[in-house]
Structure 1
Amino acid sequence: MPGEPEASGDLSFHQLSAVSLQALSRGEGGASVVAEILAAERSRRLLLLRALDEGMSKGADASEAEGLSAGADSSEGGPPQAPGTAISHRDAWSLLERVQRQAPEVFEDVLMSPPTGRWVSLALHQTRGKFSDDAPLWVVLGHLSALAAAAAARAGLDFAIAVPVRRGLVQLPTLGCAVLPVREQWSVARIEARRGTLRITGEHGEVLVPRDAEAKANVPDWHPVRRVVLESGDRPKRLTLEELDPYRTFPRPSEPRLLSAAEAGTWEGMLADAWEILLRDEPESAEAMRYGLLAMVPASTRERFRPYSGTAGDAFGGVTASCPDDAAQLAATLVHEFQHTKLGGLIHLQPLVRFQPAQDPEELFYAPWRDDPRPLRGLLQGIYAFVGVTRFWRVHRYAADAGQVPSAHFEFALWRTQVWSTLNLVRGHERLTPLGRYVIEGLRERSAQWLADPVPDAELALAREAVADHRARWRAYHLRPPAAAVEDAVRAWQRGDAQAPAGLAAEPELVPDSEVPFLDSAAVLARYRLSEPDGAWRHLAAQDSGVAGGVEGASAADVLLACDDRAGARDALVAELSGKGASVAAWAGLGRALAGEGQADRAASRLLLRFPERARAVHEAVEAVTGRAPDPVRLAAWLGQGEATERQGLSGGSGPDRP
């Protein structure tokens, strides 16, 4: 098997140095830390390949009997007939071993390509019945032959091998993709490399590809892998702009998405500019990424100020991202996703969270960067990623162009607050392993140093409003007070009691709402306000479509709040909540609109920003009983009375954020 160690009585294990572990526990770590993680990831990937090899070897005879060789009828699950072709994993392993001996650097590049890690993980899961791809199993397993062919072609070897064809596409990972005329969804092609030419032959045609890299781009029906160079000099940073490999995406493989010349130019320019920002503002992260950031997968453009990005734990070094608004946003995205990459590598060595039996219900938490409640493992990933984001904006706000400085101050203040509150939420949780507790304490120590950093008043106020708005919206959508307490409150309201019964202060129930719409609207509107104080967004933001210039999830009242028209927002929100079909998010908006008013309004504002779920539940119940919606401000003020409400908070213990 490629990369298999010599037989020995002793087994060695990967272990992070104390210095690297300390750096990772603080959300940091440069090139030396990534080198240790990469070594462990390489061994892990070889072990996964070995497990897959053993499974394929055991099933080889059975597969051939079921028709997984040339000439079988496709209706039986095997490839259609293709003259002279037979997919053989033994041929693939043999070819990979040749590459490893004769061109080890090429072998390592193919082995450590992010999509390779994703493929071997999915293939193993599919052989064990834990994952279902739309491609037949023989196509999934046959991808090994495609990897071997790509590696051998790059190494300049002469060879011949059969590979699967996916909807007319012959994928050669890290090399390119050929397009064949085919009639079947899944078929087989033969690849031969002789005297400087790669011949890819299918049942109905072939593609000839010269081995010269520059000539490949001019070959019909051939798409080479796109690579970019982000830095000149003697240490250039090279990165694959991955459009082709089916395993570049997650959770499922996908068809190639070719960039136009204009899109490719935009990406290359943005990446180069973002890299320069990282070299200046995040030099340690840049050095880590120099070795550990391997591929960027472009995704479709998203709404402004709402970029999409993601990583998969099995695809170490790969980042998926939508086209960014600007280079600073992309730099922050790269930091964010590389934090996930580092933490994923650490977790592959030792878990941060204890195993939870399948029969036990999953505990869910408030995550201030998400719309949905998150399990502990996911919450830790978010904390770790946004520690990096906070660190980036903390420095970048002093180096950004003058027009971007206010936005950078806002981002730092926003994420500093969100990270700190969430760290305190999970600190000491019983399911954290000793390593998990060590990491949380390291992140708290690092984050605590940022709490006293000055932020201009205007940006700090906007960040605080965005924090409060997101949290209040999340509670209004996902939490429900005890039903008996709501019934008592309705009766007390009808009797004219001076204040609501104390039972409403009991811990609410978490009832996840899968239809929650964009809880970050206040933050997005704040970004518009800071970047374009007098821009057209004031007139467009309340439209339904982000594509049309609107902000998804934002109402006209939200825009009024973003423009500091609290009186106008109050009137709009009261009218909405007094009618039919009011948005759940309107309760949070009303809480913001009432802030700073008279004593009764301040009590209502506190209630709506801390416990909007109470106002929503009682309001709906009163309307159901009486047929008439109560005045939302008067109801919120009534609910806000009493010492029990005043004493309730959002953090610590087993409070409402950790139901």
Structure 2
Amino acid sequence: MSDSRGAAMSDGRTATKGLAFHRLSAPSVLALARGEGGGAAVEELLTAERSRRLLLVRALADSLGEGDPPHPAGTAPMAHRAAWTLLARTQQRAPRVFENILMSPQTGMWLSLALRRLRGATAYEDAPLWVVAGHLSALAAAVGARAGLDFSLTVPVRHGRVPLPTLGCAVFADAAEPWGTAQVDAREGRLRITAGRETVTAGPEWSRSAPGWHAVRRLELEPTGPGKVLLLDELDPYRTFPHPSPPRLLSADEARTWQELLTGAWEILRRDEPQSTEAMRVGLMSLAPTPARERYRPHSVTAGDAFGGVMASRPDDVAQLAATLVHEFQHTKLGGLIHLGPLSEPSAPPGAPEQLFYAPWRDDPRPLGGLLQGIYAFAGVARFWSVHRHAADAAYAPMAHFEFALWRAQVSSTVDLVHRHDRLTALGRRLLGTLRERCEEWMAEPVPPAELALAQEVAADHRARWRAHHLRPPAAAVQDAVEAWRRGDARPPAALAAPPELAPVADTRYLDTAAVLARYRLGAPAADPSDIEGVTAADLLLARGDLSGAREAFVTQLAGKETASDAWAGLGRALAGATEHRDASRLLRHHPERARAVQSALEHATGRGADPVELATWLGLGPGETDLD
């Protein structure tokens, strides 16, 4: 199980004589830099990923060879040796089967986590090390079974379950201990999996569930097309990222719903994103379903070590799922590209604090590497909505126009923020330069005025809330402002306008409430959004256009002892349009962190704060504030 090719970008030269490096073709580099890339580009990424996987397998073999991890007496060493032997037999006799399981997302995730664990890194699961390492035997058993080989192998049992990757999972009702071992015997295409006194029989029809055996679901997304099969994986412990998890079996209704949603999303992608569909046909391998979340707050994850795998919550509609698949596969492509060549250099000097940035799609500040991931992913989302808004039915079109207007602006502003950053590599500069040109094209596209205005308002709200949470004006300037306010000065001190400091607040959540409420307005106007996490009565009044009521509600919030940072940004929106509050509104929509800091300092100094509107009005008279709009 080896490969002579390294996994690195190259211009044709070799770093070591006789050692060949993977290279992307010029068309693939250009397409990927534009945020695109079809099946050919993904094939090239997968070829490099294959070499990387084989290197990880070799590293695992070396690590296990240095000494077996703690294990039940007499089981693990024999299992490891037998597993390597069975894997080698399968690679010789059924190479396509071996390649299929080697390249599965779950195998990539397990290899990465197992190597980190063997080398002393923090564990991502509670399984003992011998169970994690013993997953090699479960992998070998699945490979051998799919190849039709006869064998006997000892595999781990996890809480009464024996998962066999890409095949299914055996369940033992009488398992008394959380961790144990089972014997897998394969004869003439059938498996007997025995743990204690229980035996589960499976095969040769792997797709059929049986007593004690849950088969992996394979969904056919194109019954009348060229064929795309996607694993709907509810069984493999390494299907979820980054933390492994036990199986979560879908009911028959849930499985049918996922089939309908995925089939519908695939049809949309075939029509609106044909190049992405070709790329996903090659590289999208499995989806791990998770329960539905709050409406208009879907959750999805990919991992760089699990090329081709997606974890996603049940979506609200097929268009949302289509956008999610595009978003996550953008991460997959970029992860494959980064394995060949980094987009940015490490922060210097070593050990220095990581520079953090505002990311319009996150509640927390992000490092440069994470920001580049978000830019690339949401560039794909903007591209999807740019086309789908013209193909969607009349009822859904406003939502699609809004999503396009929102994400093109968010991606464009973020690219502008970092496209000249000095830590970008040549590849990173090329990628951001190309995406910047694409954003310019999108920004020139017309959007209906109502949806455009709503997207702009939502974008500004998120940024203001983020600033209120994570930015702090210079402490000395805040103290000067408190003293100036108490003296009755006509204006705040100029020093308050100095660049604020980043002071990230842990566990900041729900900065997207304006976006969620906007989606309710566009997609579910009759629904009641009052139970949305993070949404206050003041937010609801604001979303309904009751500016007067919202103002009173936000002022009441700000008078409380537990002042919500979000309320300052909300108050700024509620004051918009009132001439007498123009300065206050402008200040709070652009620099709510100043009002929050000064009010907090006032309360600390005097035991009571100022009237929020009066304070914001005064702060809005600071130098340069009239140029904000």
TM-score, normalization by structure 2: 0.95
**Structure 1 segment 414-425 matched on structure 2, within 5 A:** 414-425=406-417
**Cα deviation per residue 1:308-345 (whole Å; 9 max; x = unaligned)?**
00101000000000000000000000000000000000
Distance in 1 (alpha carbons) for counterparts of 2:429 and 2:527 = 47
* Matched-pair contact (CA < 8 Å) for 1:353–1:431: yes
Aligned residue in 2 for 1:519: 511
Distance in 2 (alpha carbons) for counterparts of 1:193 and 1:79 = 23
* Matched-pair contact (CA < 8 Å) for 1:110–1:174: yes
Distance in 2 (alpha carbons) for counterparts of 1:210 and 1:316 = 28
1:328 aligns with 2:309: no
Distance in 2 (alpha carbons) for counterparts of 1:246 and 1:564 = 47
**Structure 1 segment 548-567 matched on structure 2, within 5 A:** 550-567=531-548
Aligned residue in 2 for 1:637: 617
1:190 aligns with 2:183: yes
Aligned residue in 1 for 2:23: 15
1:316 aligns with 2:307: yes
* Matched-pair contact (CA < 8 Å) for 2:167–2:206: no
- SS for the counterpart of 2:175 is coil
Letter aligned with residue 292 of structure 1 = G
Letter aligned with residue 39 of structure 2 = A
Distance in 2 (alpha carbons) for counterparts of 1:452 and 1:469 = 23
* Matched-pair contact (CA < 8 Å) for 1:122–1:131: no
Quick check: 137-146 or 300-309, which moved more?
137-146
* Matched-pair contact (CA < 8 Å) for 1:2–1:100: no
2:459 equivalent among 467, 490, 496: 467
* Matched-pair contact (CA < 8 Å) for 1:296–1:321: yes
**Structure 1 segment 136-215 matched on structure 2, within 5 A:** 136-180=128-172, 181-214=174-207
1:338 aligns with 2:315: no
**Cα deviation per residue 1:396-431 (whole Å; 9 max; x = unaligned)?**
011112111001110001111111110011111111
1:183 CA displacement:
2.1
Aligned residue in 1 for 2:13: none
* Matched-pair contact (CA < 8 Å) for 2:291–2:313: yes
Distance in 2 (alpha carbons) for counterparts of 1:584 and 1:196 = 62
**Structure 1 segment 68-467 matched on structure 2, within 5 A:** 77-79=70-72, 87-132=78-123, 133-180=125-172, 181-214=174-207, 216-217=208-209, 219-233=210-224, 235-356=226-347, 357-467=349-459
**Cα deviation per residue 1:5-45 (whole Å; 9 max; x = unaligned)?**
89x97221111111111111110101111010010111100
Quick check: 274-283 or 575-584, which moved more?
575-584
- Closer/same/farther in 2, CA of residues 191 and 588 from structure 1, 3 Å limit: same
Distance in 2 (alpha carbons) for counterparts of 1:473 and 1:38 = 41
1:38 equivalent among 38, 46, 53: 46
Percent identity of equivalent pairs:
62
1:278 CA displacement:
0.2
- SS for the counterpart of 2:443 is coil
- SS for the counterpart of 1:183 is coil
- SS for the counterpart of 2:565 is coil
- Closer/same/farther in 2, CA of residues 452 and 635 from structure 1, 3 Å limit: same
1:114 CA displacement:
0.3
TM-score, normalization by structure 1: 0.91
Aligned residue in 1 for 2:522: 530
Distance in 2 (alpha carbons) for counterparts of 1:252 and 1:358 = 28
1:629 CA displacement:
2.2
* Matched-pair contact (CA < 8 Å) for 2:185–2:191: yes
1:80 CA displacement:
6.2
* Matched-pair contact (CA < 8 Å) for 1:502–1:644: no
Distance in 2 (alpha carbons) for counterparts of 1:365 and 1:625 = 32
Distance in 1 (alpha carbons) for counterparts of 2:95 and 2:188 = 21
1:609 CA displacement:
0.8
Aligned-residue Cα RMSD (Å) equals 1.8
Letter aligned with residue 586 of structure 2 = R
**Structure 1 segment 524-603 matched on structure 2, within 5 A:** 524-533=516-525, 535-537=526-528, 541-542=529-530, 550-598=531-579, 600-603=580-583
Aligned residue in 1 for 2:600: 620
* Matched-pair contact (CA < 8 Å) for 1:239–1:294: yes
1:609 equivalent among 575, 580, 589: 589
Distance in 2 (alpha carbons) for counterparts of 1:580 and 1:189 = 58
- SS for the counterpart of 2:186 is strand
- SS for the counterpart of 1:494 is helix
Letter aligned with residue 194 of structure 2 = T
Quick check: 316-325 or 449-458, which moved more?
449-458
- Closer/same/farther in 2, CA of residues 80 and 204 from structure 1, 3 Å limit: farther
1:81 CA displacement:
7.1
* Matched-pair contact (CA < 8 Å) for 1:473–1:519: yes
Distance in 2 (alpha carbons) for counterparts of 1:564 and 1:5 = 61
Letter aligned with residue 29 of structure 2 = L
Aligned residue in 2 for 1:653: none
1:473 CA displacement:
0.4
* Matched-pair contact (CA < 8 Å) for 2:110–2:238: yes
The number of residues matched between the two structures is: 617
Letter aligned with residue 417 of structure 2 = L
* Matched-pair contact (CA < 8 Å) for 1:48–1:120: yes
1:502 aligns with 2:502: no
**Cα deviation per residue 1:426-463 (whole Å; 9 max; x = unaligned)?**
11111111111111101101111011111111111111
- SS for the counterpart of 1:449 is helix
- SS for the counterpart of 1:450 is helix
- Closer/same/farther in 2, CA of residues 43 and 359 from structure 1, 3 Å limit: same
1:234 CA displacement:
5.4
**Cα deviation per residue 1:126-152 (whole Å; 9 max; x = unaligned)?**
111013232222211111111111011
1:485 equivalent among 466, 477, 484: 477
Letter aligned with residue 300 of structure 2 = S
1:86 CA displacement:
6.3
- Unmatched runs of 5 consecutive residues or more in structure 2: 7-15
* Matched-pair contact (CA < 8 Å) for 1:182–1:204: no
Distance in 1 (alpha carbons) for counterparts of 2:448 and 2:203 = 59
- SS for the counterpart of 1:403 is coil
- SS for the counterpart of 2:270 is helix
Letter aligned with residue 477 of structure 1 = H
* Matched-pair contact (CA < 8 Å) for 1:80–1:187: no
- SS for the counterpart of 2:413 is helix
Distance in 2 (alpha carbons) for counterparts of 1:536 and 1:57 = 60
- SS for the counterpart of 2:391 is coil
* Matched-pair contact (CA < 8 Å) for 1:87–1:163: no
Aligned residue in 2 for 1:652: none
- SS for the counterpart of 1:643 is coil
Distance in 2 (alpha carbons) for counterparts of 1:273 and 1:233 = 13
Letter aligned with residue 319 of structure 2 = A
Letter aligned with residue 175 of structure 2 = V
* Matched-pair contact (CA < 8 Å) for 2:137–2:153: yes
* Matched-pair contact (CA < 8 Å) for 1:87–1:145: no
